[in-house]
Amino acid sequence: MDKSKVPTNTVTRDIKNLAAPTGNIYESVVVLYKRANQISLAEKKELSKKLEDFRNERDTMEEVFENKEQIEISKYYEKQPKPDLVAISEFEAGELFYRKAKED
């Protein structure tokens, strides 16, 4: 999904529309929670990997605060839409694949 099309602010949504794909609002919430968690973990891993390049064994607190490239990378990730908003947009667009666990 193109993140530029995802709203960065809270949007009021109709619960009936969110419940429609699964038939149950609680199941929809679980699907959205799990997808948002996946997105969050992926972004955290990506950010950590990018910031790892700036780590140095001799870094002092002053050197860390003065690194402008590191600050720009952090600001970029702060401006990204929140993982829950991305998950909801994917869900509404029908881009999520989910399935129920089999009952014994």
List, as one string, the DSSP characters of the chain. --GGGS-SS-----HHHHHTTTTSHHHHHHHHHHHHHHHHHHHHHHHHHHHHTT--TT--HHHHHH-HHHHHHHHHHHHSPPHHHHHHHHHHTT-----PPPP-
Structural domain contains residue 102: no
Number of domains in the chain: 1
Q: Which of 5-19, 36-50, 59-73 has the highest mean pLDDT?
A: 36-50
pLDDT band at 43 (very low <50, low <70, confident <90, very high): very high
Structural domain contains residue 42: yes
Structural domain contains residue 58: yes
Mean pLDDT of the chain, nearest integer: 82
- Of residues 41 and 52, which shows the higher confidence score? 41
pLDDT of residue 32: 94
Give the residue numbers spanning the domain of 31: 13-92
